[in-house]
Structure 1
C-alpha cells in the first residue's frame, strides 16, 4: 500500500465524504475514490459504507483509521527527523496575515527567510483574524499575524507584537476634534465606520461596548483600515481604528477613545508543535518584531 492511499482514506474518513476529501487533498473526486478502492482491494475489506449521502466507516474502516493516522504521523516525523539531521529544511509554509494589514517587519522576515531557505515554498494567506486563528488550529496555516482582543488565543503559542488603545478619527472641524479623549459612552452618539467582525480592533471595540451595555451605530464596514479612514474623511461617520493607524489619513484628527479597558493586540500565533520549516522561520520573525 502507498502513503497517498492512506492519506486519501484518512481524508475521506475525517471529512465524511469524497467531495470534501478531494478538495482537502487537491485532486479530483474520482482520483480519491480510485485510490481508496485500491486500498480496499489490497486489504480485502470495504472501508466505507457508500449507501448513503455521507461516507460512513465500516467496522473494518474504524479499525484501519487508527493505524492509517499513526502511519501518516510516523512518516511525517521521519521526514522531519531526517531533515533536521541533514540540516535540510524544505517544504511549504503558509503564513496568514490580516487582510489589508501591511506590516513591514513581516515582509522583511519572509524575505530574509527565503534567502536562507530558498527550497521552502512560501504562501501568504489573507483573511480576517478569526478565520486565520481557526486556520492555524486546523493546520491550514502554519503561522499567522492576527489581531485579537485582551489576550492571544488559548492553546496556541503566541508572540504579542503590539498592544494598543483605540482612537476615533474625525475631521478637524468635528465637535470632538479638540478634546483630549472621547469616552466610549459619548462615542455612541455618533455614526461609526469600522473594520469588520473577526478583526482584533473590532473585537476589542465590540467587547468594550458589550461590557458597558452600549450599542454602537455602525453605518459602514470596510476590510482595509485605509478605507475606513477615507470613509470617515468623506463624512460617513467617525472611524474607529488602533492608535498606530491614527495617521492613515492626513486630513483627520485622532482622538483617543477612553474608558475602553480592553486593548487591541497584534500577535503572531502558531501551534506548539512546530515543523522544521516553521522552526527556521521563527527566529527571523523574532528578530524583525523583537522578542516581546
Structure 2
C-alpha cells in the first residue's frame, strides 16, 4: 500500500511551481489548508522534512528537492498512462499532426500521406513544414505528434530514416561557371550565397558552409530554389528538390575540388509510441517502407 497519493504529490509540485502555499491554492483551486495538510501527510508518512522557512520565503530542503525530482517522474508517468488510456478509448484518431523538414523528398512524402489517407479517409492531417530544428521544436512543444528532423531526441523515439544529398549549384550563366576551372571554397567567398534560416522560434542552428561575404537568407526552401534558378546566387540544394532543374540544365552543379555534395541524415521522431493511434502507426509504417524503397533504388 502506497503511503502517499498522486494527488498529494501534485500538491507538493504545485507549491514549488507557483512559489508558495497561497499561490498554489489559487492556481489549482484548492484551499490553502488542504495543500498544507497534503504536504504534512507526506512529511509524516515518509519521516522527512520537505520545506524550510527563510524569512518570508518557503524553500525546499535538500531532501525535498530529491523527493520532488522523483515525484515529477512519477507524475509524468501517470500522465502518460492516462494518455494511453484515452488513445485506446478513442480508437482511430481523427487528427494527425506531422512536422516535416522541407529537405525531405516531397514526392516520397506525398506517397506516404496519400496511402495513409486511403487507409483512413476521415483522418485530418496537419502538415507543418520546417527547416533545421523547427520540426524538433514543434515535437518538443507538443504541437505535433510525429516529426521528421535532422535532430534526435534525448528522451523519446529516434530512428534514422534516410540520407538527403545536397548539391552545390548555380544558374548555367552564373559567373562561377564562367571561370572555366575547378573551384575551391575561396572562390565562393566573393559571390552571393543563398541560405535558408532555421524555422525554430527558439535558439536556431546553422548548417553547412556559410563562408560567403554576401548572403541572402530566406525562410523557405522553395524560395531558395527559385532564387538560385534565376541566377541570383549559388547554394547547396537537396538533389530531390531540383531534379527537374538539373535535367533541363536550368541549374548546373559547381565544379568544386571538394564538397561538391554533402549529406544530411533525417530521423523519425515521436515521444511515446503507446500514445499514437492506428492512423499514426500506419503513417509510420508507410514512411519506413517508402524510405527503404528509396534506399534500394539509390543502391541499384
State whether TM-score is above 0.5.
yes
State which of 28, 33, 38 in structure 2 corresponds to 1:34.
Answer: 28
Cα offset for 1:255? Answer: 1.2
Question: Secondary structure in 2 aligned to 1:133?
Answer: helix
Partner of 1:269 in structure 2?
A: 268
Cα offset for 1:268? Answer: 2.8
Question: Secondary structure in 1 aligned to 2:208?
Answer: helix
Note if contact 1:160-1:267 (Cα within 8 Å) is conserved in structure 2: yes
Cα offset for 1:288? Answer: 2.7
Q: Does 1:43 align with 2:38?
A: yes
Matches of residues 140-151 of structure 1 in structure 2 within 5 Å?
Answer: 141-146=144-149, 148=150
Change (3 A) 1:114 1:125: same
Aligned mates of 2:139, 2:84 — CA distance in 1: 19
Change (3 A) 1:108 1:173: closer
| Unaligned segments of structure 2, at least 5 residues | 43-49, 296-300
Partner of 2:242 in structure 1?
A: 246
TM-score (normalised: structure 1): 0.62
Q: Does 1:133 align with 2:153?
A: no
> Deviations 1:148-179 (Å, cap 9, x if unpaired)?
4xxx6475622332331422222436450696
Q: Does 1:124 align with 2:118?
A: no
Question: Secondary structure in 1 aligned to 2:259?
Answer: coil
Partner of 1:21 in structure 2?
A: none
Cα offset for 1:105? Answer: 2.6
Change (3 A) 1:247 1:17: farther
- Asked which structure has the greater CA Rg, the reply is 2
Note if contact 1:137-1:271 (Cα within 8 Å) is conserved in structure 2: no
Partner of 2:71 in structure 1?
A: 67
Partner of 1:281 in structure 2?
A: 283
Cα offset for 1:220? Answer: 0.6
Aligned mates of 1:234, 1:104 — CA distance in 2: 23
| Unaligned segments of structure 1, at least 5 residues | 19-28, 207-214
RMSD: 5.1
Matches of residues 1-292 of structure 1 in structure 2 within 5 Å?
Answer: 16=17, 33-35=27-29, 40=35, 43=38, 63=67, 66-67=70-71, 69-77=73-81, 80=84, 88=91, 90=93, 93-98=96-101, 103-116=106-119, 122-136=125-139, 141-146=144-149, 148=150, 153=152, 155=154, 157-172=158-173, 174-176=175-177, 182-197=183-198, 203-206=207-210, 215-247=211-243, 252-256=250-254, 258=256, 259-260=258-259, 263-271=262-270, 274-277=273-276, 278-290=280-292, 292=295
Q: How many residues align?
A: 266
Cα offset for 1:228? Answer: 1.7
> Deviations 1:179-199 (Å, cap 9, x if unpaired)?
696443322231212222579
